[in-house]
């Protein structure tokens, strides 16, 4: 079964409060939206965390082929192997993504403009807005 995964990470400040999200779409299954607050992190950490979240959800759903869409060019190109991972903070996340991808016989990853990633983007920002509201009360 194939799934399309839209992922995003958001950060208020860099570093600052961060969140990630994923939307998993697979034929014959209900759409799966997931998001989580990450605490203080950089935007790149949030972007990688979104990919990890999406891959973990796809694995739980029994998906064996994934097409990942992200608006983070850095994340996409590093996962493809076109860019080197030079940040020590990103290396463990990169390794986790590569480990998770081994459980999918077929996978692909694509960079898309932010405008084509509105659903995942709004989920990440919703988590940050909710966290801000909760922490102010």
Strand pairing partners for 17? Answer: 40
Q: Helix or strand or coil: residue 72?
A: coil
- With beta carbons less than 8 A apart as the criterion, state whether 32 and 57 touch: yes
**Residue 100 to residue 107: CA distance in whole angstroms:** 11
Overall pTM > 0.85: yes
The pLDDT score that the predictor gives to residue 129 is 97
Q: What is the pLDDT along the chain (137 residues), one digit of tens a residue?
A: 999 999 999 999 999 999 999 999 999 999 999 999 999 999 999 999 999 999 999 999 999 999 999 999 999 999 999 999 999 999 999 999 999 999 999 999 999 999 999 999 999 999 999 999 999 97
Domain spanning 2-136: CATH superfamily: Ribonuclease H-like superfamily/Ribonuclease H (3.30.420.10)
- With beta carbons less than 8 A apart as the criterion, state whether 43 and 14 touch: yes
Burial label, 86 (beta-carbon count in 10 A; 0-12, 13-18, 19+): exposed
- With beta carbons less than 8 A apart as the criterion, state whether 31 and 75 touch: no
The pLDDT score that the predictor gives to residue 61 is 96
Q: What helix, strand, coil percent values describe the chain, rounded to 5? A: 45, 30, 25
The pLDDT score that the predictor gives to residue 137 is 79
């Amino acid at each position: 079964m194939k799934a399309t995964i839209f992922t995003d990470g958001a950060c208020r400040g860099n570093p600052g409060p961060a969140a990630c999200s994923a939307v998993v779409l697979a034929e014959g299954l209900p759409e799966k939206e997931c998001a989580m607050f990450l605490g203080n992190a950089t935007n790149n950490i949030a972007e990688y965390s979104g990919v990890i979240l999406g891959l973990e959800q796809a694995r739980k759903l029994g998906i064996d082929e994934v097409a990942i869409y992200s608006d983070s060019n850095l994340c996409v190109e590093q996962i493809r192997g076109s860019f080197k991972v030079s940040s020590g903070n990103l290396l463990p996340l990169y390794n986790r993504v590569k480990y998770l991808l081994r459980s999918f016989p077929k996978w692909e990853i694509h960079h898309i403009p932010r405008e084509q990633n509105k659903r995942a983007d709004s989920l990440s920002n919703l988590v940050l807005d909710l966290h801000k509201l909760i922490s102010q009360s």
